[in-house]
Amino acid sequence: MAERAAFGARLAAAMDDLGPLCVGVDPHASLLDAWGLSDDAAGLREFSLRVVEAVGGRVAAVKPQAAFYERHGSAGVAVLEETIAAARAAGTLVVVDAKRGDIGSTMAAYAEAFLRDGSPLAGDALTVSPYLGFGSLAPAVELARATGRGLFVLCLTSNPEGAQVQHAVTSSGVSVAATMAAQAAALNAGADPLGSVGLVVGATIGDAARATATDLEAVNGPLLAPGVGAQGAGAAELSAVFGRARAQVLASSSRGVLRAGPDVAALRAAAVAAVDEARAALRG
């Protein structure tokens, strides 16, 4: 098999070509019900594959949320594997939103599951949590680098509880969020056009990046921004949060697109509209 290009380069090309939007595949029980689907593996499969059919090849990335598959046990995980395969067959990058984070051999096992060539759970990138210390992510960093995959490291999230940890100041006088961003930046040093270690930065966090002195532009990696669309973030919010780093942002919209279902054409139209909005806000 030909060597895979680095994730950061592949994502940058996809964002330039298709727009800076990632569609979240979040099969909440309430959404399954709204689509007239059963809250089981069969309903999960129909939902997921219909989303991929609608947006595959038309957006830069899709982001299946692993928890909504895991709640259905092994049958749900099998649907997650099928969803990842379908999106990749459509030529669309897959960010598996599993937020894994642990230490030592356990983190290495998570990395093997989600980043190893040949694993059915491996997409193109994985969300990870650094709050056992950024260094605990080393097995994932190493395997992602070896396989041309990427990571999105939780940095500044929109949940109110997150500030307790992320805004805290270390003994060196630097916020935890800024420390995480700086360590991602070190891993991306010299990468062009983007490094492969990105951050998760909520689109609705307001001035938190400035308040915590977190230099998002210096990360030189992609910034995954959940909260666009139905959760309230539009052009003004994206500008306020990301400023000069806007060109690095991969906006993520879940409910804003998914509520247009179950009709494939309606889903596709909602995704096209979301792409246009993201492009105008981030690339205009």
Is 99 among the catalytic positions? yes
CA within 13 Å, CB half, 241:
30
How far does CA 227 lie from the centroid of its chain?
11
Helix (H) or strand (E) holding 252: strand 249-253
**Catalytic position from the list 99, 116, 255, 259:** 99
| CA-based nearest residue to 274, from 11, 16, 2, 19 | 19
Q: In this structure, how many other beta carbons lie within 10 angstroms of the beta carbon of residue 168?
A: 12
Token pair, residue 247, equals: 């060109």
CA distance 228 to 277: 10
**Which DSSP string corresponds to 46-66?**
HHHHHHHHHHTTTSSEEEEBH
CB 209 within 8 A of CB 230: no
**b/e map 88-115, b = 16+ CB within 10 Å:** beeebbbbbbbbbbbeeeebbebbbbbb
Residues comprising the chain, all counted: 284
Which residues, at least 6 apart from 52, have a Cβ–Cβ distance to it below 8 Å? Answer: 25, 62, 83, 86, 87, 90, 92
Instruction: Give the Cα separation of 50 and 56 in Å (integer).
Output: 10
Looking at the annotation, which residues are catalytic? Answer: 99
